[in-house]
Amino acid sequence: MMELKRIVGMGLVAGMCWLGTSEGARAQEVETATDVVEEQIQVEVMADSTVSEALVRERLAKLENIIPLRYHKVTHQFVEYFIYRKPSFVKRMLEQMHLYFPLYEQMLEKHGMPRELKFLSLIESGLNPRIISYAGAGGLWQFMPATGREYGMKQNDYIDERFDPVKSTEAACVYLKRLHRAFGDWEMALAAYNVGPGNVKRAMRRSGSSTFWGIYNFLPKQTRHYVPQFVAMTYLMHYHADHGIFAETPDYPMIFDTIQVSGYVNLHTFAKLSNISLDEFYKINPQVINTELPATTKEYVLRVPSHNFDFFQENRVAIWDSATKSPFQSRMLLTANGEETTDSAGAIKKVGGLVAAGDENEDPETIITRQTRKMYHTVRRGETLGKIASRYGVDTYDLKRWNHLRGNSIMRGKRLVVFKETAKNVSAPVQLVSDTKTKIKIRYHRVQPGDTLSTIAERYGINISRLKKINRLKGNTVRKGQKLIVG
């Protein structure tokens, strides 16, 4: 019997993995984004809650290294927004940064790029490797499907490597480096990453300028605020403590080993027999989007928690036999260094918990596009901060910050400030559910060139199996122009 050797990591971050939108520039010739950022950002705060302009200017000047961190009033507004209205976002980034920043820093150093680019992922995805924007951009670095394929990220009904932190970070470094070479300026490169190089060049022609602030007024509104957001997040990740924002429960990477699988694998069976929870498997293999791998799989690398590796090694023959549906066909599982053995890998039926933009991890740009109402709530008997926050759809941490509360206890009759965000340009009144028949609005998608069931399912945040079921599809192919029900 061949011996299975332990392979740590993939030569990156010593085998540590992650537990953990803007539309992104990967839609290269899109004129404007679907959700456009308001030109004026209204940040309503208490009278004594403002950040000194001189202080922000001074600190940005100290932080500035390779990428310019210029002060701008829009940058200041974003700083105040995240301090006073969305401190929970900064807190969450502080808690999750240990999962990805070591990888980012290693990749950026490998490519000879500024380390501060690691903060770009915060405004792209909120450090959620499985988030998908409404436009279909996915992953930590929000690649559109076509650009993901252009940069070597495999996408099919089983795997979407835009969600792989290692491969997507490598691709983001290559793409950003290419943009910097094209424009010779990091601010321009960031703008091009957001809206596409074609739109940046168009703004240059119309403005006659070759600098970001020179073309500022000729860019889509979303992109005008993209660079200021980056500067604001860079500021906050360095000076969060001075504004009373701290990580409470930081996450740290999981140590993993790698294996290679070939042939068909039932991922449910593999995970169960390997004593790996499905949730755990998907967290370290976010690129796996199905419950199985097909018979055409060839030496595909998967990650296995190190604490399960010995059990897996001892039981690999039984695990592999049970996880393979076609026993007549010989299949081999290889370790990452090419030694033969037997095994598979695990997944979950709901496509691994993909998150559509708009969920709790939505990116800052989406948040900023909303209007905010200042409301008041008088605490009633039996209410808790958690219940009140849930009622208004806000974070408990934010509710406490808005009202200068240190603990979790509140007294009956206390008047609380609540900043309630509502979708922009929604003028229709809210229709309450009554005893009459409820109308259900069906959403459709017209299949475009390059679409697959996988990319369509990801875009609308639904399971591939459900997509096939509601459209009565037997196979995995779709035709250009085909009309599919997606919700």
User: To which residue do tokens 């919700």 refer?
Assistant: 487
The Cα 108–Cα 172 span in angstroms is 10
Q: What is the DSSP letter of 138?
A: B
The Cα 298–Cα 462 span in angstroms is 27
Amino acid at 231: V
The answer to whether residue 53 is catalytic is no
Q: What is the DSSP string of 345-387?
A: ----TTGGG-EETTSTT--HHHHHTSEEEEEEEEPPTT--HHH
Locate 289 and state its tokens. Answer: 């989007």
Amino acid at 96: Q
Distances (CA, A) of 242 to 83, 116, 237: 10, 20, 11
**Backbone phi and psi for residue 292, each to the nearest 5 degrees, phi listed first:** -155, 165
Active-site choice (116, 124, 187, 365):
124
Q: Which residues contact 195 (CB under 8 A, 6 or more apart)?
A: 25, 30, 33, 219, 220, 222, 223, 226
User: To which residue do tokens 């990591």 refer?
Assistant: 9
CB count in 10 Å sphere of residue 97:
20
The Cα 382–Cα 397 span in angstroms is 20
Residue (of 419, 268, 401) closest to 347 by Cα position: 268
The Cα 60–Cα 71 span in angstroms is 7
Q: Which residues contact 154 (CB under 8 A, 6 or more apart)?
A: 160, 161
CB count in 10 Å sphere of residue 464:
23
The Cα 376–Cα 385 span in angstroms is 14
Locate 176 and state its tokens. Answer: 């950003």
CB count in 10 Å sphere of residue 438:
8
Locate 318 and state its tokens. Answer: 């039984």
Provide the annotated active-site residues: 124
